[in-house]
């Protein structure tokens, strides 16, 4: 029986079925039983249709598979990107991964994952192409803002919570990129050579290991080569006896990054690459399975049983999350934004907007504030008491409405920077820039002067004599696609400087205004050499906060929200302090040896006794916290330890503290001096109140990775540090294990 369904009915059906509460997650064995049963009924053509994308011009999503309607298998829709549904309308522009990391809040990381999942499901997307788990090996790394920074433990927590959140809605997460996808220049062929298994597992694979523990159903293999072999046909990376499947126990399927396939279908299929996207040749590569997989089957170099395994794994992910019943079909079309197939179902909800704003505020890191005491007529520093301010200047291009939809990849930085460019860019449909949000908050309570052209003389004139001058500056980076350049940067940033001479702008304003408050929107560490200037009374590092950038920063600036964000990386003055580099100019694809091994970011800085301007984990509050009553003990059951202490709000207002645990290993372990191994969100602690905190560290997180042995907990004396940042240790003790 055939029923004609009107678009309205379809719309209602979509809304009804997008209720994720209906779905029940299956175990892997249950999912594989169903998958194998389906595979047994499929023809070879049907199997190949699921393995190979439908092609760049035939897909409704950024990647689709071919449906097998007679067996109830729809076209599986894969869509960017890690911070919101890309290339469609009616969605939320969520805060980026690096901002989620900045919250140091598992609660918010998970909630963000759930909200993302709800929007992807509502749009009919089976597979969310995220989370991004690429470690920020170098601070200028172009796509680092899609992931969670240089620290593997923090990235691991982000990986776990985000994956749980997304998949709790029945949408598959696709962790990316396996592996060592750490710069944009030359990414289509560079070789990241990881010198030893310990570095490989402790730094680059650890976040994937955590995502697998959360039930991850899919992984994207990277453009780059690893140890000289292309990731998507590298058995060590994706094979049945490779790291991901054998060592990490990943059961799901692996899809190529778009066009990350080269040479033969045989190599890729036998290595274990389950799905090729978008399916055809896209100038940088691709198209090895179409028609190469048929040929390989015909000449016997790929067997039926291998093909069955690829299909089975793809379908197992689909069945694991119950996508065969009640999952809405896509209701948008990336090829034709306003075409007839585009129902423009609005999946953005007030709750998602509120969450985005909360995460954006929670990820804003207060780097500096100078207070002038209660007797002052004009408050200096933060928060700004609007009752004591009569004149306000808003300065900097980064304050104003960005150029929206400048291109589908977001490749422009004009106006405020809330997300980087490339496939991880976000919808700016509903963005509220800082200028608009400040104007709406201030209303008629003070006179506002704006200067958002980046003309320094104009800015100085606007700032002079005003009670407060807000200066907004930024730096941006993104994904390198076809050698496109944004303001001279090809994906990776060229340097750590603010864009559009932002540093000069800040210094020029500070020279004339004694209450200069700077907001930095950036994709990663930037040089803030002017931070000690006496007239700069407040600095907030706000990252790349998504569409609620304006309202979220207003809440922090004017004291509605007490800042609690923490730096997920160190901010040093120069790149030399980070100990790694981006390889730019080359004559052919470079080999990049990760000779720094475990020493990224603060781990390297500690090794050379360098104190950065703002350390890892740093972030101030409008109140203060005291730590006491430290103890550490072994847990009887799992070989872990538990650390207990008390946090007291010693200041004048409710605030959230993020105590962090760093471990110092026995010297024989060969670990960096201090490594992050725990953190907690002490949420909304009232002025004068105290709260007991306990942080458990499991055996694996006390362990180091030893080749041939796996995770081994070293023997000896561990030092346990508890602090408000890596350079602000408040309590410490030792424990012999
Ligand atoms: C790369 O080579 C190193 C050294 O042989 C090895 O330990 C590692 O497992 C290899 N592969 C990956 C993905 O790191
Ligand atoms: C592989 O499967 C196809 C389709 O079922 C069949 O025609 C073919 O004979 C099989 N090949 C081998 C080598 O078993
Ligand atoms: C701070 O601002 C005042 C103007 O109020 C200016 O006279 C002074 O030179 C500035 N200080 C510095 C260090 O630039």
Going by alpha carbons, the residue nearest to atom 11 of ligand 3 is 511
Q: Is 236 a catalytic residue?
A: no
Assess contact for 136 and 149: CB atoms under 8 A.
yes
Long-range CB contacts (within 8 A, 24+) of 688-693: 688/649, 688/650, 689/648, 689/649, 690/646, 690/647, 690/648, 690/649, 691/646, 691/647, 692/629, 692/644, 692/645, 692/646, 693/644, 693/645, 693/646, 693/647, 693/659
Instruction: Express each pLDDT in 504-550 by its tens digit.
Output: 999 999 999 999 999 999 999 999 999 999 999 999 999 999 999 99
Q: How confident is the model at residue 371 (pLDDT cuts 50, 70, 90)?
A: confident
Query: Do 118 and 91 meet the contact criterion of CB atoms below 8 Å apart?
Result: no
Structure token pair of residue 88: 């469609």
Read off φ and ψ for residue 336, nearest 5 degrees.
-135, 90
CA distance 655 to 560: 11
The pLDDT score that the predictor gives to residue 376 is 56
- Alpha-carbon gap, residue 118 to 120, rounded angstroms: 6
Ligand 3 within 6 A of 514 CB? Answer: yes
Q: Return the residue whose CA atom lies nearest to atom 4 of ligand 1.
A: 196
Would you say the CB of residue 44 lies under 6 angstroms from ligand 2? yes
Q: Whose CA is nearest to atom 12 of ligand 1?
A: 200
**Nearest ligand, CA of residue 191?**
1
Neighbours of 9 (CB within 10 A): 11
Q: If you measure from the C-alpha of residue 581 to the centroid of ligand 2, how many angstroms do you get, rounded to a whole number? A: 51
In the block, tokens 């350079």 appear at 727
Query: What local confidence, expressed as pLDDT, does residue 372 receive?
Result: 54
**Residues lining ligand 1, judged by CB closer than 6 Å?**
179, 194-197, 200, 226-227, 236-237, 243
Tokens of 246: 């054998």
The number of the ligand nearest the C-alpha atom of 44 reads 2
101 phi, psi to nearest 5 deg: -65, -40
pLDDT of amino acid 1: 35
Strand 625-634 to 660-664 pairing: unpaired
Q: Which domains does the chain have, with CATH numbers?
A: 7-320 (3.20.20.300), 351-572 (3.40.50.1700), 623-736 (2.60.40.10)
How far, in Å, CA of 197 to CA of 550, rounded?
A: 44
- Candidate of 227, 239, 594 to mutate for ligand 1, largest count of ligand atoms within 8 Å of Cβ: 227
**Residue % of the chain over a pLDDT of 90:** 90
Q: In what order do the strands lie in the sheet with 391-395?
A: 365-369, 536-541, 516-522, 468-475, 391-395, 447-451
pLDDT tens-digit readout, 173-194? 999 999 999 999 999 999 999 9
Atom 9, ligand 2: which residue's CA is nearest? 304
Q: What is the pLDDT of residues 70-89, one digit of tens each?
A: 999 999 999 998 999 999 99
Q: How far is CA 734 from the centre of its chain?
A: 34
State how far the Cα of 549 lies from the Cα of 565, in Å rounded to an integer. 14
**259: region left, alpha or beta (phi > 0 left; psi from -120 to 50 alpha):** left
Q: Express each pLDDT in 253-273 by its tens digit.
A: 999 999 999 989 999 999 999
Q: H/E element holding 49?
A: helix 44-51
Closest ligand to C-alpha of residue 532 is 3
Q: Please determine, for residue 447, whether its predicted confidence score (pLDDT) is greater than 80.
A: yes
pLDDT tens readout for residues 659-715? 999 999 999 999 999 999 999 999 999 999 999 999 999 999 999 999 999 999 999
Site to substitute for ligand 3 among 461, 507, 514, most atoms within 8 A of C-beta: 514
Mutate to test the pocket of ligand 2, among 45, 302, 304 (most ligand atoms within 8 A of CB): 304
Residue 387 DSSP class:
G
Distance, CA of 706 to CA of 704 (rounded, Å): 6
Calculate how far, in angstroms, residue 304's C-alpha sits from the geometric centre of ligand 2. 6
Cα gap 695→641, rounded to integer Å: 8
In terms of pTM, does the model score above 0.75?
yes
For residue 505, how far is its CA from the centre of ligand 3 (angstroms)? 15
* Ligand nearest to the Cα of 178, by number: 1
Full DSSP string of 586-655: -SSPPEEE-TTTT--THHHHHHTT---SB-TT--B-SS-EEEEEEEEEE-TTTS-EEEEEEEEE-SSS-E
- Alpha carbon of residue 140 to chain centroid: 15
The pLDDT assigned to 5 comes to 37
Q: How much distance in Å is there from the Cα of 41 to the middle of ligand 2?
A: 13
> What is the pLDDT, as a whole number, of residue 438?
98
Q: From ligand 3's centre to the CA of 10, what distance in Å?
A: 64
pLDDT for residue 15: 45
For β-strands 229-230 and 172-178, DSSP reports them as: unpaired
Is residue 588 very low, low, confident or very high in pLDDT (cuts 50, 70, 90)?
A: confident
Average pLDDT, the chain: 94
Q: Is the separation of the CB atoms in 289 and 265 below 8 Å?
A: yes
The three-state (H, E, C) secondary structure of 447-478, written as one string? EEEEECCCCHHHHHHHHCCCCEEEEEEEECCE
The answer to whether residue 245 scores a pLDDT higher than 60 is yes
Q: In whole angstroms, what is the distance from residue 309 CA to residue 50 CA?
A: 12
**What is the residue-wise DSSP string for 229-282?**
EEGGG-HHHHSTTSIIIIIS---SEEEE-TT---S-HHHHHHHT--BBSS-S--
Q: What is the distance in A from the centroid of ligand 2 to the CA of 75?
A: 24
Q: How far apart are CA 723 and CA 727, in angstroms?
A: 8
CB-count exposure of residue 308 (10 Å: 0-12, 13-18, 19+): middle
Q: What ligand is nearest to the CA atom of residue 537?
A: 3
Percent of the chain with pLDDT over 70: 95
CA 366 to chain centre: 20
User: Which value, in Å, is the radius of gyration of the alpha carbons in the chain?
Assistant: 26
Distance CA 628, CA 408 (A): 52
Q: Quick one: average pLDDT of 438-451? A: 98
- For residue 482, count other CB atoms closer than 10 A to its CB: 6
> Mutate which of 44, 46, 48 to test ligand 2's pocket (most atoms within 8 Å of Cβ)?
44
Q: What is the mean pLDDT of residues 148-163?
A: 98
3-state secondary structure 65-126: CCCEHHHCECCCEEECCCCCCCCCCCCCCCCCHHHHHHCCCHHHHHHHHHHHHHHHHHCCCC
Rounded average pLDDT over 418-445: 96
In angstroms, what is the span from residue 470 Cα to ligand 1's centroid? 49
Options 80, 257, 280, 606, the catalytic residue: 257
CB 673 within 8 A of CB 606: yes
> CA distances (Å), 210 to each of 4, 104, 156, 244, in order?
45, 16, 5, 12
**C-beta separation of 166 from 117 below 8 A:** yes
In short, whether 532's Cβ falls inside 6 Å of ligand 3 is no
In the structure encoding, which two tokens stand for residue 213, read together?
Answer: 């523990």
Q: How far apart are CA 33 and CA 28, in angstroms?
A: 9
10 Å CB burial of residue 65 (0-12, 13-18, 19+) is buried
Residue nearest to ligand 2 atom 11, measured at CA: 304
Question: Is 592:192 a contact under the CB 8 Å cutoff?
Answer: yes
pLDDT tens digit sequence for 35-62:
999 999 999 999 999 999 999 999 999 9
Structure tokens at 193: 């050579």
Atom of ligand 1 nearest to the CA of 179: 13
Nearest CA to ligand 3 atom 1: 514
Q: Residue 198: is its pLDDT beyond 50?
A: yes
Nearest-angstrom CA–CA distance, 267 and 211: 27
> Three-class SS of residue 306?
helix
Which uninterrupted H or E stretch holds 705?
A: strand 704-706
Mean pLDDT of 229-247: 98
In angstroms, the Cα distances linking 23 to 36, 542, 677 are 21, 37, 34
**pLDDT tens digit sequence for 84-107:** 999 999 999 999 999 999 999 999
Cα separation, 592 vs 614, whole angstroms: 28
C-alpha 607 to ligand 1 mean position (Å) = 24
Take atom 5 of ligand 1 and give the residue whose Cα is closest: 196
Query: Could you give the count of Cα atoms lying within 13 Å of 264 in the half-sphere of its Cβ?
Result: 10
């Amino acid at each position: 029986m055939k029923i004609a369904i009107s678009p309205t009915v379809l719309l209602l059906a979509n809304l009804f079925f997008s209720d994720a509460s209906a779905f029940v997650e299956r175990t892997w064995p249950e999912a594989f039983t169903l998958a194998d049963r389906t595979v047994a009924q499929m023809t070879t053509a049907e199997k190949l249709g699921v393995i190979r994308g439908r092609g760049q011009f035939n897909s409704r999503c950024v990647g689709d598979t071919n449906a097998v309607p007679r067996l109830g298998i729809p076209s599986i829709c894969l869509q960017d990107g890690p911070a919101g549904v890309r290339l469609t309308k009616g969605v939320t522009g969520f805060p980026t991964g690096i901002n989620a990391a900045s919250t140091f809040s598992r609660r918010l990381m998970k909630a963000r994952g759930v909200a993302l999942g709800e929007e992807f499901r509502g749009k009919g997307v089976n597979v969310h192409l995220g989370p991004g788990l690429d470690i920020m090996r170098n601070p200028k790394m172009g796509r680092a803002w899609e992931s969670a920074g240089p620290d593997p433990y923090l990235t691991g927590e982000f990986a776990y919570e985000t994956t749980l959140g997304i998949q709790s809605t029945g949408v598959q997460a696709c962790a990316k990129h396996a592996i060592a996808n750490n710069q944009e220049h030359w990414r289509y062929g560079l070789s990241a050579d990881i010198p030893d298994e310990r570095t490989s597992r402790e730094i680059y694979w650890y976040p994937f290991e955590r995502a697998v523990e959360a039930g991850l159903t899919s992984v994207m293999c990277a453009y780059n080569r690893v140890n000289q072999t292309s990731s998507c046909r590298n058995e060590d990376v994706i094979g049945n006896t490779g790291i991901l499947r054998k060592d990490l126990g990943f059961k799901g399927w692996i899809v190529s990054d778009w066009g990350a396939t080269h040479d033969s279908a045989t190599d890729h299929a036998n290595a274990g690459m389950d799905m090729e996207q978008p399916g055809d040749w896209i100038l940088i590569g691709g198209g090895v399975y179409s028609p190469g997989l048929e040929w390989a089957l015909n000449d016997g170099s790929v067997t039926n049983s291998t093909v069955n395994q690829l299909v089975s794994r793809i379908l197992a992910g689909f069945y694991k999350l119950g996508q065969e019943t009640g999952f809405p079909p896509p209701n948008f079309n990336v090829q034709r934004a306003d075409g007839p197939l585009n129902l423009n179902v609005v999946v953005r909800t007030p709750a998602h907007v509120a969450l985005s704003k909360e995460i954006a505020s929670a990820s804003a890191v207060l780097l500096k504030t100078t207070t002038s005491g209660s007797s002052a007529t004009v408050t200096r520093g933060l928060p700004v008491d609007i009752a004591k301010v009569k004149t306000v200047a808003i300065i900097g291009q980064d304050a104003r409405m960005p150029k929206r939809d400048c291109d589908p990849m977001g490749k422009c930085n004009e106006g405020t920077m809330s997300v980087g460019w490339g496939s991880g860019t976000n919808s700016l449909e509903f963005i509220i820039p800082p200028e608009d949000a400040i104007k709406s908050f201030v209303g008629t309570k003070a006179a506002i002067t704006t200067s958002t052209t980046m003309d320094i003389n104009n800015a100085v004139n606007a700032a002079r004599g005003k009670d407060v001058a807000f200066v907004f500056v930024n730096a941006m980076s993104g994904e390198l696609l076809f050698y496109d350049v944004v303001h001279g940067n090809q994906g990776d940033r060229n340097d750590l400087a603010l864009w559009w001479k932002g540093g000069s702008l800040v210094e020029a304003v500070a020279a004339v205004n004694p209450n200069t408050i700077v907001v930095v929107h950036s994709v990663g560490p930037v040089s803030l050499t002017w931070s000690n200037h006496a007239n700069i009374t407040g600095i907030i590092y706000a990252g790349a906060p998504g569409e609620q950038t304006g309202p979220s920063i207003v809440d922090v600036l004017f004291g509605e929200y007490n800042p609690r964000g923490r730096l997920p990386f160190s901010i040093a003055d120069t790149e030399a302090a980070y100990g790694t580099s981006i390889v730019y100019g080359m004559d052919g694809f470079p080999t990049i040896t990760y000779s720094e091994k475990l020493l990224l970011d603060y781990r390297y800085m500690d090794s050379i006794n360098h104190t950065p301007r703002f350390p890892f984990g740093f972030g101030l509050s409008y109140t203060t916290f005291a730590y006491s009553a430290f103890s550490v003990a072994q847990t009887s059951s799992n070989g872990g330890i538990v650390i207990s202490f008390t946090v007291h709000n010693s200041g004048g207002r409710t605030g959230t503290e993020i105590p962090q645990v760093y471990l110092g290993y026995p010297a024989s372990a060969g670990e960096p001096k201090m490594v992050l191994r725990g953190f907690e969100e002490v949420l909304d602690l009232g002025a004068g109140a105290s709260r007991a905190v306990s942080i458990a560290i499991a055996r694996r997180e006390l362990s180091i990775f030893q080749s041939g042995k796996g995770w081994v907990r070293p023997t000896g004396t561990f030092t346990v540090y508890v602090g408000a940042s890596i350079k602000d240790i408040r309590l410490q003790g030792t424990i012999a294990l």
